[in-house]
Structure 1
């Protein structure tokens, strides 16, 4: 599915015209101006899956965040915008085949990290609550409690419950479902599968972070199926050779100036993996 057909960033001439029209001289940074134009990136033409590839500082995340801001998708974590950010976004031009679905969102590494951290805090909270419930169980089971008024009714119920049940059952039934079963990588993968639903534009900034190679391949298949069968469009930045190999993906190489489209097997990062394993082929 294609919702967003084309996106154009301001070129160097447009940026120069903008700066000539303003009198601001107190800023030492004009971000995101000069980042993408300096890479020769002017227009992106999208497929159901479009990937931005490039090294650190190549402008991948900048491009994704600008696109997300322009089309108005949901985001969980706040993005640190500069003073010139709204001016830059306003100068961008988009061409849509269909309106942006409300389910659309950008997912960044910060979103995934916050999610994993929340689960970790939740598990720590469960551990603390479990210890409190152990104490409650013992106090209730062996107490000499006698009901004196209706105000004691809840305590009476707790005592009777503790005397009817084992300690483990008493504690288990009062705790929420155990969420500890997932590792950080498994939790990160679960985050993607929960946030990516049918019919939406999904902008993913280096989704391979926290994922093992096995999980990256699972995410690869999940994205392929979502694009093919469930009406989703993806715009992704990644270094992962697994995600770069995605069927039908259009890949822009931001390490080139001007930016050009390449096959995944032509990318420097992928070639480095290939050469490394080729040199060590006899060890397998």
Structure 2
């Protein structure tokens, strides 16, 4: 049973961002039935915006991290940075948890800076870095630092990840899926992941929510554009390339 079981939000009247995102027009009513849930959709469809609001509602740092890393300003919208955070309602089963992590690929550099700043205040920085792969995240490749974080920081809790595949090769995406499997099978961890990766999306028994102009709807893996386009391209790349490079 997932810790977070429902995400609901009544969208107020008005046309200001982010409430005017087409996928939000019918409101947000998402039951989380499994320990792994994916958000998919085109860039700008609202999946990252929703993930960020969930993270802030829980209390995670929007620049990446957990509640201990929280540097949110909370000065813009009723004490929150995101206008979507205040109206979002989260239902927890059987109880709310605070452990976990929010990570977005685009802000990982800033998160690595934050970890280095914290390490400077530690009596034994080398011991502190053991929780991050044994050395500064800046002293590892992007993929290495991501997997070091996943391997060493992910335990019991809820993990909100925005396009984690951006730092990972296909082989390392498979390694990441192994980490997810180990944790979610223990029934101690829940994942909500916004992704464009057709490899990651095939994770067994995951729930997939597609964000588009018709709202937010549950789909199966084979219905996702990510799967269909990748499959069709790999089966006949010449057709796509001929169309893309045509002068007509």
**Pairwise TM-score range, normalised by the shorter structure:** 0.7 to 0.9
Judging changes above 3 Å, is the alpha-carbon distance between structure 1 residues 33 and 204 closer, same or farther for their aligned structure 2 residues? same
Partner of 2:152: 194
Q: Is 1:259 the equivalent of 2:219?
A: no
Question: Which of the numbers 93, 102, 107 marks the counterpart of 1:106?
Answer: 102
CA apart distance, 1:255: 2.3
5+ residue gaps, structure 1: 20-28, 121-176
Looking at secondary structure, tell me which structure has more helix per residue. Answer: 1
SS in 2 for 1:69: helix
Secondary structure of the corresponding residue to residue 254 of structure 1 = strand
Check conservation: 2:77, 2:86, Cα contact below 8 A: no
Counterpart of 1:269 in structure 2 is: 226
1:2 Cα deviation (Å)?
1.0
Q: Looking at secondary structure, tell me which structure has more strand per residue.
A: 2
- Residues 6 and 110 of structure 1, relative CA distance in 2, 3 Å threshold: same
Instruction: Summarize the Cα distance change of 1:239–1:41 in structure 2 as closer, same or farther, 3 Å threshold.
Output: farther
Of 172, 190, 198, which aligns to 1:215? 172
Mark the CA change 1:228 to 1:41 in structure 2 (over 3 Å): closer, same or farther: farther
Residue 54 (structure 2) aligned to one of 61, 67, 91: 67
Larger radius of gyration: 1
CA shift at 1:73, angstroms?
3.5
Task: Give the structure 2 partner of residue 95 of structure 1.
Answer: 91
CA distance in 2, matches of 1:264, 1:82: 40
The 3 A distance-change label for structure 1 pair 36 and 196 is farther
Helix, strand or coil: the match of 2:190? Answer: strand
Q: Distance in 2 between matches of 1:82 and 1:116?
A: 25
Whether 1:58 aligns to 2:45 is yes
| Structure 1 residues 256 and 267, CA gap change in structure 2 (3 angstroms) | farther
2:155 equivalent to 1:184: no
Alignment partners' CA distance in 1, 2:152 and 2:222: 31
Aligned CA RMSD, in angstroms, stands at 3.1
Q: Offset at 1:182?
A: 3.8
Which has the larger displacement, 92-101 or 222-231? 92-101
C-alpha change, 1:109 and 1:243, in structure 2 (3 Å) is: same
What's the TM-score, normalizing by structure 2? Answer: 0.73
Q: Aligned runs of 1:1-284 on 2, under 5 Å?
A: 1-11=1-11, 15-16=12-13, 30-35=16-21, 38-46=24-32, 47-73=34-60, 76-77=63-64, 83-84=76-77, 86=80, 88-115=84-111, 182-197=140-155, 199-280=156-237
SS at match of 2:38: strand
